[in-house]
Each structure stands twice: as structure tokens, then as C-alpha cells.
């Protein structure tokens, strides 16, 4: 009986993978495990199972730890495959054996399996010491007897997962730095501190920021390197042009620069195994939007990781995160600097208001005092008293504005001089409000005051409370046109409440949050005037706050507003040192008079009618100069009409007094009234203020320019806004002039005069332009008529010439001999008429732009010779000899008939004005230009006539009739210029004339 032969490797390992083939072909007999036939069944099964798995697996067998592995595991050991098959695993994984050896030996000696997640291993599978991570499990492998014959390991590489997680933590830490608001210096420190916690990915880092002038880089953060070393200079001059700076310049241009081969002498170590760092990366830190880069980030590259796509993406994200943090820090610093500058500007503005307001009061006091003395004392004419009252009233208004600024500046600076005293606030408020009754009722409004007795005196500063009540009542009257105003004071709980209610225009909801802000004014609000500083309500809020209270407003647009002031009762909320305190500052209180004087001048009337001005008004205007002459129209003298729009009554009256001696003046209280007056009867000029209720100056200007009837009206704008920008704004909006307040009476009258004169000149220019247009139309009609007439006349003329030729052929010799002279004369006249018709037709074509040249290859010399030959007999009958000097042929692109026409005109002219003397015609090419010269020895042309002889219907000798239409030279010039040439004349009286036709030789060719 024969012994059974065990199967060989070909029968056992029949798979088609690479490792199946390698195991089958391997010389196992030369290894410690021996030939396959001697393997125990358990080893065969384990190897067969291992090769069939797609999970990385390795099997060691015997005390020599001979290794078997599959295709998946071959990728784990990299370039050590396939030489590792059948060899000792301790040689293959020598660099990682310190970590793996104990686990392998434990499984083979104890039989206990192990599992280690994310185990870091040092592998040299790609030509360098690589940092890698694996999930590994080691288990005992049993032989046929049940004894441990080897070790079976299953592993999975998780390197990318570990690196991604670790890098994400670094990016997260940097993101946390970007979200915090701090200075740039602190941010740089925090950024490098965050990177210091991740040395495996960032062995070292340098953070360079660019200077404001962009000429240098400064090291603002460093980790892993000492500042000032070979790789870490503290500053870099970007314009130095050195090799050290070149990589930084490339990085600032947006390039990612990698520098390899760092000097080993630098002793830069990194990675988990402390290997030498040999590479670094430079990348720019992007600025906001299209701004220049903030600087350059320099990072060392791990010596244990290849700079693959993943590493490059991480580095890019790292730079972007650092840039975001720096941009946020820089924006925070810029915002903080702006806030500090604004705060400083606010302090300076407050100090300025305080100083300038204080300084204004002295001259104003010296103005008001003497004015009051004069008004109360000596005898005055009614006109003088009226003038002084206007001055006094406006000086008082200016003082009130100055005092408001002074009060506000004191409040802002915390230097308000307050004194709180117990007051019967009901009686005090009622007394203050009663002052407004006459002014309110004069406008037709109902005025109610409800101030019942309060249970106890209220601690207030009487001066402050006066200003609060007067400002609120003045504001309510300013914006109320119909209905009522009401004042109510009540006690509620622990507070006293003042309510000022009106049925005025109301306040838009979007404006309410800003109503008590300094200098805020509701845009496009309809009021009795647009005058004001915009700080009245802000002052009310500050004064109420001094009492420990608050102010609010409720309003519905179109229905009215209610302002509510609430102040606490008692005195516990007030500074103890300010209760019944003596006052140290001078008072800015002026009482109710300035408020009432201003209120009494308000009016919501429509456009005021023009009032005739007395002839002796405004004697101060331009002494010695007569008023503007009135226009004569239909036998009635009419003075220019000026429409004046201004919401200030004093200003309207002043402008009327200034302009009335020379102009009829119509007054309007706002832009809407002025627009209606202009549409009803257009004035000669509009003089308008910029800021007015209902419709401002710019709105009035736009409306006037949009209407055809008022589009050309001259408009002069008046404004208190001084400065070049404001003037330019007014002129760009379409105003004809811009006058800044204050202005003198003489300047105002001069501006109005000049604008009216300019307007007259514009109208005259327009009339002249229309007249010119009419003349052009007539000339066009004449030219069209000439074209039609000449064309129509040519038809019967041609028929006449044909009949004349037929008659000549039908006559016998005897009859022909007797009639030859008359027939030849008739033929010449027919030819002359035909030439005239052609000339008229040419005029029509030239003036209407319909002249078309028929260009062909033409010999210029031949054309001139033919024309001279054709005209020689006719010229010789006049007793004139013609000589022709012609050189070689000149062939070019010309219109033969038109060039012939030019030569004919010049010869005819020379014969007509040549006094029977010889004519010389010359054709030549000189200096690259073809020249045709026609010279006569006739009467010549005066210098003053030479400039006009090439115009239509002009002759060389004005006043004398030499025949012709005066069109020949004009047509010749047009034809020559159409060929790109020119025609000139040189002549002196009595010495003849020389006409030269110059034609370009471009495109010409020698025959």
C-alpha cells in the first residue's frame, strides 16, 4: 500500500493575489519553518486563512518568529515588502520592536491576547523615520498539539485619523483666540502659545507682521526658536534685496514657499522621536478683502511626516486661522482707536462750545444793552425804530442760542451750577406756561393749562425747570398748525409728571429713538421754521436727568405728540451739597421773552403778495448808481420781478427792503408757497433759502427745473452753510448762484443784477441761435431748390442743343455759311448755360454732403493736358496764350471729371482776370506731392481778399463785375479737399496770381 503524499504549496495556496503567488514561489525549505510539506496542519490553515483575508494580518511562527502576512499588511511595511516574507519579524520591525516586542512575547508566552488602540509606532517604510499609528491586536497561534506555536496579529492603520484629530484641536484652539477681542500684541502672544501646545505638528513657528508703510517685517511671536537667531531675525527690511528676504517677498506675493535643507548645526529637533527638523514653510497672512497681506507665518515641518496633500491643507488652514485672529485684533484696535478719537473729539467739541459760547456773550451783551437804551430813550423815526427792533430781536435770539450751547457744554463737562429748592411747582409751571398763551392763541390754537395743587413742594432748580417748560412749549408750537396745545402737571406715587401735548404734525416712528440725541433733527418735518440747533430736546433730557428724572415721548405721525417729564418727589435722590446751594456761575436764563419773540414771528401763511416799495427805500444801496432800467413792453414800463422764499420773517422783510428800489419783490414763507407763486406767474428770478419747512431750497430748485414754464428761471440760493463744498453742492444741483449769509445789501443787489443780465443774455443768445437755425433751414431750402431747378433746367437745355445740331445738319452749304456765325454763338451760349447748370448742381451736392467721388487710376498729367487743349481755342479768342509744362505721367486714384473741373475753373479764372496776358500751367511731382500750378500776369488779388475768395459767391475784385457766379474757386477747393489735398493762392495786386493745387501721392504709382 503506497504512502499518501502531502499537498504542495501549489495545491494549498491557490489564490490569485500577489501574496498567494509569493508564498507559493517562496523557498520555504531554506527558512526555519522548513518546506511546506513539513508544516503542521494548524500552520497551513492559519496561513491559508491569513492570505484569504483583506484585513491587515501577520503571523509569526516558531522561536525564530518567521513571518507570514497578506496583501493588506504589505502596505503597512512599505518598501520592506516583499523581502520580509519568511524572515524574522524582529529585523523587519527593528525600529518599532521596543513597542511591539513585549506584546508579541506576551501573547506567545502567556497565551493572553492584547488590543492597543492608536498605538504610535516608528516605521522606516518610506525612506525616513515615520510617525504612524495603528490599532493592533496580538493573539497566540496554536499548533496541532495545542501548544503555542506562534503569534497572530491583526492591525489597522489609523495614522490619518489621529493626525486629523490632533490638527483639528490646534485649529480649534486658534479659532478660540480669533473669537476673543484683544490687542494685536496680545493676540500674537496667544497664537504662538496655542501652537506651542502642538509641537508634533508645529515644531517651531515665527509670526512676522508687516509695518504700516509696508517696507519691513517685525517678529511679533516665536515658539521653538530663540528670537534673533539665523532663522528668526527680529526685523527684515523688505527692500534690502538680500537672499534672506527673497522667500518672504515671495510669500507676501501669495506663494507658499517651502525651504528644505536646514543646517544641522541649528540643532532644531521635532516630532515624536526628536529627529532633526530639515524643512520650514512660509505663507502670507491675508488681509481683509483686497488689502495687502498682514505679514508672514513661518512654521517648521515635522521630520516624521511627509509634506503630503493633507499636511499642505492643514498648513493652509493654520495660516488662515492665524490671519483671521490677527484681522479681528487689528479691527478691534482700530475701533478702539476710533472710539478714543471720537471721545477726545467730543471732549474738545464740548470745551470749544463752552469757550466760544462764553466769549460770544460779552459782545452780545454790549450790543443788546445800548440797543435797549436807544429804543427806550431818545426820539426815533418809525423806520429807524423798526430797523433797531429787528436788530434787537435777532441779537436776543442769537444770545438764546449761545446760552443754550453754554448750558449744554456745562452739562457735558459736569460743571453745571445747580441749586435745588422746594418749590410750589404747580403755581410755578402755570405761571411759566401762561406767558405762551397770547402767542399760541394768535395762531388760532386752543391752549389749556391744567396744574392742580400738589400735595407738597417739589425740589427743582428753578432756572432748569424754566428752560424745560419753555423748550417743550416752543417745540410744540413750532410743529402745530391746527388743534390745540396742552400742559398738565400731576403727582403720581413718588413722582411728579409734566405732560406737554399737541395736535401737530407728529414724529415718524423711526425718528423717536433719536429724538433726544444732540444735534438730531427730524428730516423733512413740516414746521413753522427750519431754524434751530437741534439741541433743545437734548438739553431738556440733560436738565431733567439733573433732577434724577427722565423724559419720554409718544407720537403718531399726523396726529400729534405728547412729551412726558417725570421727576422724583422729595430730595433723597439729589446731591446733598446742591440743595439750597449758592450759585457761583452767572445765569444764562433770559426768561420767556426770546422764546416769545421768535414764536411771534412764525407764520404758516402762503406766498406773500408783492408789496410796492417806496422810491426812496434803501438809500444805502450802491450810492450814485441808478436802479436797473425797466423793460419796455407794450408801452408800459415793467420792472424785473424777484420771488423771495425764506421762512424767517425778518430775513424776508430785509431782502424786500434791499431789493425794492430796483425790483418788484414777491415774498413766500417756504418753498411750497414759492413754487405755487412761480407756477401762477413766473418771475424773472428766484431768490431762495436752502432750509425751509414743507419744501426746502433744493426741492424748490428741482421742481422749478422739472416744469417747462420755469425750467430756465435763474435761481440764486441763500444759505448759512458756508464753505466751498456747500457752494459746489448748490451749483451742481442746478442753481445759477450761491450766496452765503451774512451778506451785504450791495452784494445782494449786485448778484441779482448780474443774474438778471446773464438771463437776458441767455435769452438773446437763444434767440440768435433760433434765428441761425432758421437761416440754416432757409439756406438748405435754397440749396434744395437749386438742385431741383438745375436738374429740371438741364432737360429742356439738352433738347434745345439737339434741335440746334439738327438744324445745323439740315441746312445747305449756302444757308449754313450765312447762318454759321449765329449758330456758333447760340451753341456757345447753350454750352455756357449747361456749365451754369452743372455748377449749380455741384453747389447743391456739396452743401448737402452728397458729393461722391468716382476714383479710378487716372494720369494726372493727361487730365491737365486735355483740359488745357480743350480750353486753348476759347482762351486764345480772348487774346491769351496758354503754355503747358508737364513732366512724366503721374497715375493715381483720382476722379477724372472733378480734376478736369478744377483745372477748367482755374484756367477760366486766369483768363478772366489776366488782362490778356499769357497763362502758364505746370504739372510736376515735388517732395512727394503732386502739384498743378496755374499762373497768370493779371490784376492780382489784395491780401485782405485772399482769405475769402474760396468762399461761395465771392470774387477777386469786389464791386466790379467780371462775370461768373463766384462759385468756381469754392467748388474747386471742395473737390481738392475731398481728394485729401489743398489749394492755395499767392498774389499781389497788379502782379498776377498763382494758384497751386497739391494732391497727395499716397496710393499713386508711376506709369
The residues, ordered by sequence, that sit 6+ positions from 3 with a Cβ below 8 Å of its Cβ are: none
448/534 same-domain check: yes
13/111 same-domain check: yes
State the pLDDT confidence band at 496, using cuts at 50, 70 and 90.
Answer: very high
153/171 same-domain check: no
pLDDT over 60 at 621, yes or no: no
Poorest-confidence range of 49-63, 141-155, 325-339, 401-415?
401-415
Strands 715-719 and 737-740: parallel
User: Is 994 a member of any domain?
Assistant: yes
Strands 495-502 and 484-492: antiparallel
Which of 137-141, 260-264, 404-408 reaches the highest mean pLDDT?
A: 137-141
CB of 246 closer than 8 Å to CB of 332: no
User: Is 462 a member of any domain?
Assistant: yes
299/318 Cα distance (integer angstroms): 10
Poorest-confidence range of 175-189, 771-785, 804-818?
804-818
User: Is 257 a member of any domain?
Assistant: yes
The proportion of the chain whose per-residue pLDDT surpasses 90, expressed as a percent, equals 26
447/495 same-domain check: yes
Domain boundary (298, 316, 340) is at 340
For position 624, what pLDDT does the model report?
35
State the pLDDT confidence band at 605, using cuts at 50, 70 and 90.
Answer: very low
596/733 same-domain check: no
CB of 357 closer than 8 Å to CB of 402: yes
Domain boundary (323, 340, 357) is at 340
For position 967, what pLDDT does the model report?
75
SS3 597: helix
176/314 same-domain check: yes
Between 439 and 371, where is the model more confident?
A: 439
SS3 827: helix
pLDDT (mean) for 243-258: 90
pLDDT over 70 at 593, yes or no: no
Strands 929-936 and 993-1000: antiparallel
pLDDT (mean) for 86-111: 91
102/238 same-domain check: no
The proportion of the chain whose per-residue pLDDT surpasses 70, expressed as a percent, equals 76
User: Is 823 a member of any domain?
Assistant: no
709, exposed or middle or buried, with CB in 10 Å at 0-12, 13-18, 19+? exposed
For position 208, what pLDDT does the model report?
94
The residues, ordered by sequence, that sit 6+ positions from 44 with a Cβ below 8 Å of its Cβ are: 12, 36
For position 847, what pLDDT does the model report?
60
Write b or e for each residue in 910-930: b if 16 or more Cβ atoms lie within 10 A of its Cβ, otherwise e: bbbbbeeeebbbbbebeeeeb
CB of 859 closer than 8 Å to CB of 891: yes
Give me the CATH number covering residue 653.
3.40.50.2300
Angle (CA) 80-84-88 rounded to 5° is 130
Distances (CA, A) of 969 to 148, 612, 855, 936, 983: 128, 65, 21, 15, 9
For position 824, what pLDDT does the model report?
60
CB of 948 closer than 8 Å to CB of 910: no
pLDDT over 70 at 609, yes or no: no
State the pLDDT confidence band at 1003, using cuts at 50, 70 and 90.
Answer: very low
Residue 908 domain boundaries: 852-1006
For position 639, what pLDDT does the model report?
87
The residues, ordered by sequence, that sit 6+ positions from 824 with a Cβ below 8 Å of its Cβ are: none
pLDDT (mean) for 1-27: 77
Poorest-confidence range of 268-277, 585-594, 662-671?
585-594
909/903 Cα distance (integer angstroms): 10
473/731 Cα distance (integer angstroms): 38
User: Is 209 a member of any domain?
Assistant: yes
pLDDT over 50 at 99, yes or no: yes
State the pLDDT confidence band at 301, using cuts at 50, 70 and 90.
Answer: very high
Distances (CA, A) of 44 to 9, 56, 83: 9, 18, 21
End-to-end Cα distance, the chain: 123
146/173 same-domain check: no
Cross-strand bridge partners of residue 552? 564
For position 628, what pLDDT does the model report?
41
State the pLDDT confidence band at 117, using cuts at 50, 70 and 90.
Answer: very high
327/190 same-domain check: yes
Nearest to 707 by CA among 727, 737, 730, 677: 677
State the pLDDT confidence band at 410, using cuts at 50, 70 and 90.
Answer: low
Whose cell is 509670526? That residue is 207
SS3 640: coil
pLDDT (mean) for 846-863: 77
State the pLDDT confidence band at 535, using cuts at 50, 70 and 90.
Answer: confident
142/176 same-domain check: no
For position 948, what pLDDT does the model report?
80
pLDDT (mean) for 3-16: 70
pLDDT over 70 at 900, yes or no: yes
Angle (CA) 452-453-454 rounded to 5° is 115
Q: What is the pLDDT of residues 628-646, one digit of tens each?
A: 434 434 444 478 999 999 8
Poorest-confidence range of 246-250, 625-629, 832-836, 943-947?
625-629
pLDDT (mean) for 720-725: 58
The residues, ordered by sequence, that sit 6+ positions from 324 with a Cβ below 8 Å of its Cβ are: 175, 178
For the record, the C-alpha cell of 114 comes out as 492584547
For position 26, what pLDDT does the model report?
92
722/734 Cα distance (integer angstroms): 18
For position 805, what pLDDT does the model report?
63
Give me the CATH number covering residue 191.
3.30.450.40
Determine what percent of the chain falls in helix, strand and coil, rounding each to the nearest 5.
45, 20, 35
SS3 25: helix
Which of 359-363, 633-637, 775-779 reaches the highest mean pLDDT?
A: 775-779
357/405 Cα distance (integer angstroms): 6
pLDDT (mean) for 127-146: 91
Q: Cis omega before residue 405 (within 30°)?
A: no
For position 888, what pLDDT does the model report?
84
For position 620, what pLDDT does the model report?
35
pLDDT over 60 at 179, yes or no: yes
988/868 same-domain check: yes
332/890 Cα distance (integer angstroms): 82
pLDDT over 60 at 298, yes or no: yes
pLDDT (mean) for 641-661: 87
The residues, ordered by sequence, that sit 6+ positions from 396 with a Cβ below 8 Å of its Cβ are: 368, 590, 593, 594, 597
Domain boundary (694, 717, 743) is at 743
pLDDT (mean) for 228-240: 89
- Write down the mean pLDDT value for the chain: 80
State the pLDDT confidence band at 978, using cuts at 50, 70 and 90.
Answer: confident
For position 218, what pLDDT does the model report?
93
pLDDT over 80 at 548, yes or no: yes
State the pLDDT confidence band at 774, using cuts at 50, 70 and 90.
Answer: confident
Poorest-confidence range of 372-376, 697-701, 752-756?
372-376
Whose cell is 458756508? That residue is 722
User: Is 477 a member of any domain?
Assistant: yes
For position 450, what pLDDT does the model report?
92
CB of 411 closer than 8 Å to CB of 542: yes
pLDDT over 80 at 723, yes or no: no
State the pLDDT confidence band at 807, using cuts at 50, 70 and 90.
Answer: low
CB of 647 closer than 8 Å to CB of 531: yes
DSSP structural state of residue 4:
P
277/157 Cα distance (integer angstroms): 25
pLDDT over 80 at 140, yes or no: yes
State the pLDDT confidence band at 498, using cuts at 50, 70 and 90.
Answer: very high
314/311 Cα distance (integer angstroms): 5
Between 266 and 624, where is the model more confident?
A: 266
User: Is 532 a member of any domain?
Assistant: yes
User: Is 182 a member of any domain?
Assistant: yes
Q: What is the pLDDT of residues 155-171, one digit of tens each?
A: 988 999 999 999 999 98
For position 877, what pLDDT does the model report?
79
pLDDT over 70 at 608, yes or no: no
pLDDT (mean) for 519-547: 72
For position 626, what pLDDT does the model report?
36
176/323 same-domain check: yes
Q: What is the pLDDT of residues 17-65, one digit of tens each?
A: 999 999 999 999 999 999 998 999 999 999 999 998 999 999 999 999 9
Between 414 and 944, where is the model more confident?
A: 944
pLDDT (mean) for 483-494: 90
pLDDT (mean) for 650-666: 87
Domain count, the chain: 5
Amino acid at each position: 500500500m503506497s504512502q499518501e503524499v502531502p499537498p504542495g504549496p501549489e495545491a494549498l495556496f491557490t489564490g490569485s493575489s500577489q501574496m498567494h503567488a509569493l508564498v507559493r514561489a517562496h523557498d520555504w525549505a531554506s527558512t526555519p519553518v522548513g518546506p511546506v510539506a513539513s508544516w503542521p496542519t494548524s500552520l497551513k490553515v492559519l496561513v491559508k486563512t491569513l492570505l484569504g483575508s483583506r484585513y491587515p494580518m501577520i503571523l509569526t511562527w516558531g522561536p525564530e518568529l518567521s513571518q507570514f502576512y497578506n496583501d493588506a499588511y504589505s502596505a503597512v511595511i512599505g518598501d520592506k515588502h516583499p523581502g520580509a516574507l519568511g524572515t524574522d519579524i524582529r529585523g523587519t520591525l527593528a525600529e518599532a520592536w521596543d513597542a511591539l516586542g513585549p506584546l508579541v512575547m506576551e501573547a506567545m508566552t502567556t497565551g493572553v491576547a492584547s488590543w492597543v488602540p492608536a498605538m504610535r509606532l516608528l516605521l522606516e517604510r518610506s525612506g525616513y523615520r515615520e510617525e504612524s499609528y495603528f490599532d493592533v491586536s496580538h493573539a497566540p497561534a496554536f499548533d496541532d498539539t495545542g501548544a503555542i506555536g506562534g503569534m497572530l496579529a491583526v492591525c489597522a492603520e489609523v495614522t490619518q485619523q489621529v493626525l486629523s484629530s490632533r490638527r483639528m484641536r490646534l485649529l480649534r484652539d486658534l479659532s478660540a483666540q480669533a473669537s476673543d477681542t484683544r490687542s494685536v500684541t496680545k493676540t500674537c502672544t496667544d497664537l504662538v502659545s496655542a501652537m506651542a501646545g502642538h509641537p508634533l505638528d508645529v515644531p517651531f513657528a515665527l509670526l512676522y507682521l508687516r509695518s504700516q508703510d509696508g517696507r519691513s517685517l517685525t517678529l511679533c511671536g516665536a515658539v521653538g526658536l530663540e528670537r534673533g537667531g539665523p532663522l528668526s531675525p527680529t526685523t527684515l527690511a523688505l527692500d534690502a534685496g538680500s537672499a534672506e528676504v527673497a522667500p518672504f517677498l515671495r510669500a507676501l506675493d501669495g506663494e507658499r514657499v517651502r525651504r528644505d535643507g536646514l543646517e544641522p548645526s541649528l540643532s532644531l529637533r521635532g516630532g515624536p522621536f526628536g529627529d532633526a527638523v530639515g524643512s520650514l514653510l512660509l505663507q502670507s497672512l491675508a488681509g481683509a478683502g483686497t488689502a495687502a497681506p498682514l505679514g508672514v507665518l513661518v512654521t517648521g515641518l515635522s521630520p516624521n511626516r511627509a509634506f503630503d496633500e493633507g499636511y499642505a491643507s492643514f498648513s493652509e488652514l493654520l495660516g488662515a486661522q492665524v490671519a483671521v485672529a490677527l484681522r479681528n485684533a487689528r479691527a478691534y484696535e482700530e475701533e478702539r482707536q476710533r472710539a478714543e478719537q471720537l471721545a477726545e473729539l467730543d471732549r474738545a467739541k464740548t470745551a470749544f462750545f463752552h469757550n466760544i459760547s462764553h466769549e460770544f456773550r460779552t459782545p452780545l451783551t454790549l450790543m443788546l444793552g445800548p440797543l435797549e437804551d436807544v429804543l427806550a430813550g431818545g426820539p426815533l423815526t418809525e423806520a429807524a425804530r423798526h430797523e433797531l427792533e429787528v436788530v434787537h430781536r435777532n441779537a436776543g435770539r442769537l444770545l438764546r442760542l449761545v446760552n443754550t450751547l453754554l448750558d449744554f457744554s456745562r452739562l457735558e463737562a459736569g460743571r453745571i451750577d445747580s441749586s435745588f429748592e422746594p418749590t410750589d411747582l404747580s403755581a410755578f409751571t402755570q405761571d411759566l406756561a401762561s406767558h405762551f398763551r397770547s402767542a399760541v392763541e394768535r395762531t388760532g390754537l386752543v391752549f389749556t393749562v391744567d396744574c392742580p395743587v400738589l400735595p407738597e413742594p417739589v425740589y427743582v432748580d428753578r432756572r432748569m425747570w424754566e428752560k424745560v417748560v419753555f423748550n417743550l412749549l416752543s417745540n410744540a408750537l413750532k410743529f402745530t398748525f391746527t388743534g390745540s396745545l396742552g400742559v398738565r402737571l400731576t403727582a403720581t406715587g413718588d413722582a411728579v409728571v409734566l405732560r406737554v401735548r399737541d395736535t401737530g404734525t407728529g414724529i415718524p416712528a423711526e425718528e423717536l429713538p433719536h429724538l433726544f440725541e444732540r444735534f438730531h433733527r427730524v428730516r423733512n418735518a413740516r414746521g413753522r421754521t427750519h431754524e434751530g440747533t437741534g439741541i433743545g430736546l437734548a438739553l431738556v433730557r440733560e436738565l431733567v436727568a439733573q433732577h434724577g428724572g427722565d423724559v419720554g415721548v409718544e407720537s403718531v405721525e399726523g396726529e400729534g405728540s405728547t412729551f412726558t417729564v417725570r421727576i422724583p418727589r422729595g430730595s433723597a435722590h439729589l446731591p446733598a451739597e446742591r440743595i439750597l446751594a449758592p450759585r457761583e456761575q452767572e445765569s444764562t436764563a433770559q426768561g420767556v421773552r426770546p422764546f416769545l419773540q421768535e414764536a411771534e414771528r412764525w407764520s404758516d401763511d402762503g406766498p406773500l403778495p408783492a408789496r410796492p416799495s417806496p422810491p426812496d427805500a434803501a438809500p444805502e444801496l450802491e450810492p450814485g448808481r441808478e436802479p436797473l432800467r425797466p423793460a419796455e413792453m407794450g408801452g408800459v414800463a415793467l420792472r424785473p420781478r424777484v420771488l423771495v422764499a425764506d421762512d424767517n420773517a425778518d430775513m424776508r422783510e430785509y431782502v424786500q427792503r434791499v431789493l425794492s428800489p430796483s425790483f418788484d419783490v414777491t415774498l413766500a414763507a417756504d418753498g411750497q408757497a414759492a413754487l405755487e407763486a412761480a407756477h401762477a406767474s413766473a418771475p424773472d428770478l428766484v431768490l431762495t433759502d436752502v432750509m425751509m419747512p414743507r419744501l426746502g431750497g433744493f426741492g424748490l430748485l428741482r421742481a422749478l427745473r422739472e416744469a417747462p414754464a420755469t425750467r430756465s428761471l435763474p435761481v440764486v440760493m441763500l444759505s448759512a452753510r458756508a464753505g466751498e463744498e456747500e457752494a459746489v453742492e448748490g451749483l451742481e444741483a442746478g442753481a445759477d448762484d450761491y450766496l452765503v449769509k451774512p451778506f451785504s445789501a450791495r452784494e445782494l443787489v449786485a448778484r441779482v443784477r448780474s443774474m438778471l443780465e446773464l438771463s437776458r443774455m441767455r435769452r438773446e443768445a437763444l434767440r440768435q441761435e433760433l434765428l441761425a437755425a432758421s437761416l440754416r433751414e432757409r439756406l438748405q431750402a435754397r440749396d434744395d431748390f437749386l438742385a431741383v431747378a438745375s436738374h429740371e433746367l438741364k432737360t429742356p437745355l439738352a433738347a434745345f442743343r439737339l434741335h440746334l445740331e439738327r438744324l445745323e445738319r439740315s441746312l445747305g452749304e449756302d444757308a449754313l455759311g450765312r447762318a454759321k456765325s449765329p449758330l456758333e454763338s447760340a451753341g456757345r451760349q447753350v454750352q455756357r448755360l449747361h456749365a451754369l447748370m452743372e455748377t449749380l448742381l455741384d453747389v447743391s451736392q456739396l452743401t448737402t454732403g452728397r458729393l461722391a467721388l468716382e476714383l479710378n487710376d487716372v494720369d494726372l498729367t493727361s487730365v491737365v493736358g486735355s483740359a488745357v487743349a480743350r480750353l486753348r481755342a476759347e482762351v486764345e479768342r480772348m487774346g491769351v496764350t496758354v503754355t503747358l509744362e508737364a513732366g512724366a505721367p503721374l497715375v493715381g486714384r483720382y476722379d477724372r471729371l472733378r480734376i478736369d473741373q478744377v483745372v477748367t475753373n482755374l484756367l477760366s479764372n486766369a483768363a478772366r482776370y489776366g488782362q490778356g496776358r499769357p497763362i502758364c500751367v505746370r504739372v510736376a511731382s515735388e517732395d512727394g506731392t503732386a502739384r498743378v500750378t496755374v499762373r497768370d500776369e493779371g490784376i492780382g488779388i489784395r491780401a485782405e481778399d485772399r482769405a475769402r475768395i474760396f468762399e461761395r459767391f465771392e470774387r477777386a475784385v469786389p464791386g466790379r463785375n467780371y462775370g461768373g457766379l463766384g462759385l468756381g474757386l469754392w467748388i474747386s477747393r471742395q473737390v481738392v479737399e475731398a481728394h485729401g489735398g489743398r489749394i492755395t493762392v499767392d498774389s499781389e495786386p497788379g502782379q498776377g496770381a498763382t494758384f497751386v493745387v497739391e494732391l497727395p501721392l499716397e496710393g499713386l504709382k508711376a506709369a
